[in-house]
């Protein structure tokens, strides 16, 4: 489905959607428990996949107020202010069918380790995009831990077959492909008999996402620690003792706002806020999310931003932006947003350390270079660097392809706010992955949106 946006000014107050990263982990952590309530979750296409996985392993996920049980099918899980999870208490059943993770790479990686705990075989697959993403290092790690874990096509990609049970042990793992491999092993390792020790063979990319995991595990009563560092950044590895029990205080966990999604609202305010107004974003409390760096990045580019951390409110005014150099090794999901800001800023915006961003729902480096060029931007693409030549760019409305990737669609929507004329974006439905109400939110701020 297409969406059309015409050059617009934004003004008003909106609330940030809940964090997708925290919701995934919270639903699975509640599944590992004997039961917990996840407050303020993001109910989206991706997190529904994790809810289905919890159900397949013997749990259930239901809205707190009414709604049908997801014990048979959670694809219709309604939006809710809280999800009540009846967990499998660290002992997952063998699913009675193939586990469909749809387009959710996070679900696939996290629950591959869950499958390793089951006493039998689990088959995991997903859509065409998911079946192109690398899972080999996690499969190799599970194999090293004594679990049969294979790609059916022998290429390290889904469909995957995993035969448990996993008892724990020590394993070496590369950190430069996906931090989610570490998260998967830490979450599963807590309920093994022996625990798991992970040694990193390369520097850890996207380290803040492991900090998110460590923060959430602590909230669920689980001890897990980096080795050689106080945080995931710079860690030599991680250790999680076995025999632990997932149990959050009072049986509940509240999901914070999502800074990956907030990035589009910050960017929209910085480039298109009404000259006499501002964009005010509520629900932006500090957390371990690395993507909170969007505030500092946009400020460095010249954006006028006030962040009341205690109140969790960000206020953004339209500003003249200038290009800078930014390393996205720890914040890969910000690349599309930064690239869009770069196309509007003066001078060059150089995004470095971004090769791992090519292994997402799509190759986001090439996707942003090509689609921004369709809108009139000038870019230079290298294997590990994307440069946007803002001074040579003049954005004008055109038809662009969202590449079936929620972050590409939303970033192009920000570009459309300042492009001359009307921009048509293909694949608007993919925002359901992380920000289902994105276009409604933009319209509430004054964006001219035609769906």
Tokens of 427: 């694949």
Report CA-CA distances (Å) from 363 to 101, 132, 335, 369: 20, 11, 11, 10
Residue (of 232, 245, 120, 138) closest to 192 by Cα position: 245
Task: Catalytic residue, from 333, 348, 401, 405: name it.
Answer: 333
Distance CA 103, CA 46 (A): 7
153 is in an annotated binding site: no
19 is in an annotated binding site: no
Residues 6+ apart with CB under 8 A from 135: 108, 109, 112, 151, 156, 157, 158, 160
Distance CA 306, CA 311 (A): 12
Residue (of 295, 277, 271) closest to 16 by Cα position: 295
179 is in an annotated binding site: yes
75 is in an annotated binding site: no
Look up 333 and say whether it is catalytic.
Answer: yes
211 is in an annotated binding site: no
Contact assessment for residue 358 and residue 375, using Cβ atoms and an 8 Å cutoff: no
269 is in an annotated binding site: no
Distance CA 197, CA 147 (A): 15
189 is in an annotated binding site: no
Distance CA 308, CA 319 (A): 19
71 is in an annotated binding site: no
Distance CA 227, CA 234 (A): 9
Write out the H or E segment, with its range, that includes residue 199: strand 196-200
205 is in an annotated binding site: no
User: Annotated binding residues for phosphoenolpyruvate, as ranges?
Assistant: 20, 105, 133, 180, 364, 407
User: Annotated binding residues for 3-phosphoshikimate, as ranges?
Assistant: 20-21, 25, 178-180, 206, 333, 360
User: Annotated binding residues, as ranges?
Assistant: 20-21, 25, 105, 133, 178-180, 206, 333, 360, 364, 407
Residues taking part in catalysis: 333
């Amino acid at each position: 489905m297409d969406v059309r946006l015409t050059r617009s000014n934004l003004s008003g107050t909106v609330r940030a959607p809940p964090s997708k990263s925290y919701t995934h982990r919270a639903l699975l952590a509640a599944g590992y428990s004997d039961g917990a309530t996840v407050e303020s979750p993001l109910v989206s296409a991706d997190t529904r996949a994790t809810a289905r996985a919890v159900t397949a392993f013997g749990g259930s996920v239901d809205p707190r107020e009414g709604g049908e049980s997801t014990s048979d099918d959670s694809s219709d899980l309604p939006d809710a202010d809280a999800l009540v999870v009846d967990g499998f208490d660290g002992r997952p059943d063998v699913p009675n069918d193939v586990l469909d993770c749809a387009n959710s790479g996070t679900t696939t990686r996290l629950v591959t380790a869950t499958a390793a705990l089951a006493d039998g075989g689990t088959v995991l697959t997903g859509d065409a995009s998911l079946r192109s993403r690398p899972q080999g290092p996690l499969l190799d790690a599970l194999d090293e831990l004594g679990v049969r874990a294979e790609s059916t096509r022998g290429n390290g990609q889904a469909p995957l077959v995993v035969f448990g049970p996993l008892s724990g042990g020590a394993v070496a793992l590369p950190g430069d492909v996906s931090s989610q491999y570490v998260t998967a092993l830490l979450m599963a390792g807590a309920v093994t008999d022996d625990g798991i020790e992970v040694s990193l063979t390369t520097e850890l990319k996207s380290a803040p996402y492991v900090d998110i995991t460590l923060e959430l595990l602590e909230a669920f009563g689980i001890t897990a620690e980096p080795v050689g560092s106080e945080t995931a950044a710079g860690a030599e590895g991680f250790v999680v003792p076995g025999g632990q029990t997932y149990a959050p205080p009072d049986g509940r966990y509240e999901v914070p706002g999502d800074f990956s999604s907030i990035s589009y609202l910050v960017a929209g305010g910085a480039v298109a806020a009404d000259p006499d107004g501002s964009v005010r974003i509520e629900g932006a409390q500090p957390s371990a999310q690395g993507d909170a760096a969007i505030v500092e990045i946009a400020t460095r580019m010249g954006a006028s931003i006030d962040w009341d951390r205690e109140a969790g409110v960000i206020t953004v005014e339209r500003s003249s932006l200038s290009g800078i150099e930014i390393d996205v090794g720890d914040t890969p999901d910000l690349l599309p947003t930064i690239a869009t800001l770069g196309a509007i800023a003066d001078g060059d915006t150089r995004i470095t350390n971004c090769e791992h961003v090519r292994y997402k729902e799509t190759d986001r480096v090439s996707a942003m270079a090509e689609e921004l060029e369709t809108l009139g931007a000038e870019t230079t693409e290298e294997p590990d660097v994307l440069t946007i030549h803002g001074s040579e760019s003049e954005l004008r409305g055109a038809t662009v392809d969202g590449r079936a990737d929620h972050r590409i669609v939303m970033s192009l929507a920000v570009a459309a706010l300042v492009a001359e004329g009307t921009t048509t974006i293909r694949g608007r439905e993919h925002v359901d992955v992380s920000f289902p109400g994105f276009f409604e939110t933009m319209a509430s701020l004054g964006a001219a949106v035609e769906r």
